[in-house]
Amino acid sequence: MTTAQQSIAAPDDHVETSPDSRILAIDIGGTGLKAAILDFEGNMLTERHRIETPHPTTPDVLVDALAKLVEPLSNFDVVSVGFPGVVRNGKIKTAPNLGTEALKGLDLAGELKQRFGKPVSVINDADMQGYGAIEGKGLEMVITLGTGFGSALFMDGVLAPHLEIAHLPFRKNKDYDQQIGDKAMKKIGKKRWNKRVKKAIQTLRMLTNFDKLYIGGGNAQRINFELDSDVKIISNEAGVRGGVWLWRKREKSDA
């Protein structure tokens, strides 16, 4: 990612980070929980640790699993978390791909701050992955193909309000999650699934007129059709690497 464009307000205004700060980045997925420690430039200082996502995912079970995930990692200053659902002010509003209503209303940032003893910022997982992928110029869109369908929009490096495109109608009165999520891919096979992904890209192009589209998530590597020059598949590591930008202030570029 380029050096940036706009300052990002940290979740706690009194928290100060520096070029020496170490960021613990956590990526919560429907099938796996991932974490690594990053430096201030977004470089991984540790290997990316992974454990299975527990189901059913109740608040206590999730927090305990994240604590277990982080056990091998130490010496970090702040924590960034990407969560697969709508998040407002560190609190979970929706959690469609974790199969439970129990997480709604959970102050995940507060719970993890208490557990880790460090400042915590929680945002949508596609938003965080986007921070790890975008260049910061023009209208950039990020979609994730995994358990469900995630999306994020950025204008000149500034994150737009999160939209749950996953739950908008896509085809045959079913939404993007139902038609392109992992269950659908396994049910209909790669050939038909790829046709749906191609159609989704065309629809999103008409909807947003993006300048660049980045595709991440565990199933992104299953795409087998030729992508346009403004569409790029990104590594899953972006879901962790994006965590640094929740704490780092970006200086507006001259471009």
Number of domains comprising the chain: 1
Residues 193-225 have pLDDT tens digits of 999 999 999 999 999 999 999 999 999 999 999
Spatial neighbors of 63 by CB under 8 A, at least 6 apart, are: 108, 111, 112, 115
- CA 2 – CA 223 distance, rounded (Å): 26
Q: How far apart, in whole angstroms, are the C-alpha atoms of residue 44 and residue 17?
A: 17
Q: Average pLDDT of 7-23?
A: 66
pLDDT at residue 6 in the model: 36
**Residue 7 CA, distance from chain mean position:** 19
Pairing of strands 78-83, 23-28: parallel
- Per the structure, the complete domain to which residue 222 belongs is given by 1-255
pLDDT at residue 4 greater than cutoff 60: no
Residue 185 confidence (pLDDT) above 80: yes
Contact 23, 247 (CB under 8 A): yes
Residue 14 pLDDT greater than 70, yes or no: no
Instruction: Say if residue 105's pLDDT is above 60.
Output: yes
What is the predicted pLDDT for the residue at 17?
82
Tens-digit pLDDT profile for residues 111-130: 999 999 999 999 999 999 99
C-alpha 12 chain-centroid distance: 20
Q: 94 with 55: CB under 8 angstroms? A: no
Residue 7's pLDDT band, with cuts at 50, 70 and 90, is very low
Q: Which of 51, 44, 59, 163 is nearest to 109 (CA)?
A: 59
What is the CATH number for 59?
Answer: 3.30.420.40
Does the pTM exceed 0.75?
yes
Neighbour-count burial of 88, counting CB atoms closer than 10 A to its CB (0-12 exposed, 13-18 middle, 19+ buried): exposed
